[in-house]
Chains A and B, each alone.
Chain A
């Protein structure tokens, strides 16, 4: 009887749920492979000697649009600095001699974030060899095969899909827009949601206050890791460049000069590597609402403008 129940469950999953789940934005965002120059890719593509690659987390994922040069954006959302380093270690040979590595610095890049199952799944689908942690690797492999067992997020995604609810800021279609679908009120609310999320994630009560003891410890780890990334690039004759992207002023107003000094600039000083910085965080022409699809992420039009600006700075 138990075997029969299991069999029926499997049948139900494969015939009904799996095809539906694969149509959801949640599934597409989490499980559909991005393009990385892995073992499969290089045997089916002739392109080599790329000019530029970009690393980073969610902000970087929606920051770059390489069209006129050979570039790849390796950022996915979320992505930790550990994954940045692993992606670079696995795929750097796609770069030409002297190629550029854009290291995208987001407001909380300097704080340590533990790799979770979402990071592991996203990392797993890159096809990179080195896994994050054996335990997470096994768990992520299982979810990749049976995403329905993710539980609540999978059910939610199915319900949203079935009832045609599209409010997710990570929605791929939203990111392809050339305007901002949110009004002023929604943008304010969205910015506050991001801020509250980060405060909770990193246990911060006041963004203007000095780093907490825990975050100082995380900072030390990230200083070392960033040095490794930069030294890795330089040893292989690539050009590492820090890029600090803009956000809308709805969100940017929370990133005061004190905040930026505490969370960004002092971090880069601690890393103590003399590499170029393209700081567009307060570039007002790139902070216009119309260039984003929420308060944080650049839309298609914004990505094109921002990338053009970055490339002008690196003189391609």
Chain B
């Protein structure tokens, strides 16, 4: 499995499977298939309401496939209601119990929840120092949130940032910020849900024909080549296999630029709907 090194030396697999909103039977089927294919990173969050199912499934699947905890990478996130409660140090213990593990590889703040996100980050720094999480970071930040956090002061530069990122949203400002501070990028909705603007893009269709790969594979390769770690969800084992088959071809610099040119600042998910006051 290809890996990317975080600024503290921790390595993260270059492609992540999301488990959001999956029930036990679906997740068991998908995680079993994913581990067999070669996936080693899994994304969840307290707000998905199934952290405990992720824990159960991973424990069972690791045993069944003869793998160890350290063979996989788990990302989870702290939600807005937990930020509001403020007991961040206790919240990680709940996540650890849910996930049936004694550490989380990457712990993200799910949203820059207004009025809370700066103090939440400072509390996350303390948890990181205790060793219960191997890396910390945040999701869904805009530059203005980073600026406020930096102005407030921080001890530990975030290791990882997750945001909606795909050819229709290159988010150059956030990418530049992350590169400048050596922060790794996780991309959610990395295929932009394959909406028509993606499926019918002549740029992607041409590159797909030229490389003999699907549009999905082309986009995932684009992510990999610019050091963005795609985090996608599929409940179809065939699609999982297809999405993992992106290591045997390379996009040219021109292909990369053409895909970048599709940027329209298009966000599938409306941030303020999930986080009022965002």
Contacts and interface: CB of A to CB of B under 8 A. Distances in A.
Interface string B18-61: 00000000000000000000000000000000000000000000
Interface string B263-278: 0111111111100111
Contacts of A206: none
A216 interface: no
Contact of A48 (B266, B272, B278): B266
Interface stretch (A38-46, A156-164, A239-247, A270-278): A38-46
Contacts of B277: 89
Contact of A46 (B197, B270, B273): B197
B276 A129 contact: yes
Contacts of A235: 144
Nearest to B169: A48
Given A97-B265, A235-B144, A42 B270 contact: yes
Given A48-B266, A92-B278, 12 more contacts: A37-B270, A39-B273, A42-B270, A46-B195, A49-B264, A86-B276, A90-B276, A92-B272, A93-B267, A128-B276, A129-B273, A130-B276
A109 B235 CA distance: 51
A93 B273 CA distance: 8
B273 A48 contact: no
A92 B269 CA distance: 12
Interface of B: 144, 195-197, 264-273, 276-278
Contacts of B269: 42
A13 interface: no
Contacts of B144: 235-236
Contact of A94 (B195, B197, B264, B270): B270
A129 B277 CA distance: 11
A93 B111 CA distance: 14
10 contacts: A39-B273, A48-B270, A89-B276, A89-B277, A89-B278, A90-B273, A90-B276, A91-B273, A93-B273, A235-B144
Interface of A: 37-39, 42, 46, 48-49, 86, 89-94, 96-97, 128-130, 235-236
Contacts of A129: 273, 276
Given A37-B270, A46-B197, A91-B270, A96 B276 contact: no
A128 B196 CA distance: 27
A213 B197 CA distance: 57
A234 to B, nearest CB: 11
A94 B144 CA distance: 18
B165 to A, nearest CB: 15
Nearest to B271: A93
Contact of A89 (B264, B265, B267, B272): B272
A91 B272 contact: yes
B115 to A, nearest CB: 12
B9 to A, nearest CB: 36
Nearest to B193: A43
Which of B195, B196, B265 counts the most A-chain CB atoms under 10 A from its CB? B265
Given A46-B197, A235-B144, A37 B265 contact: no
Contacts of A96: 265
A171 B268 CA distance: 36
A219 B270 CA distance: 33
B265 A42 contact: no
Contacts of A89: 272, 276-278
A92 B278 CA distance: 9
Contacts of B267: 48, 93
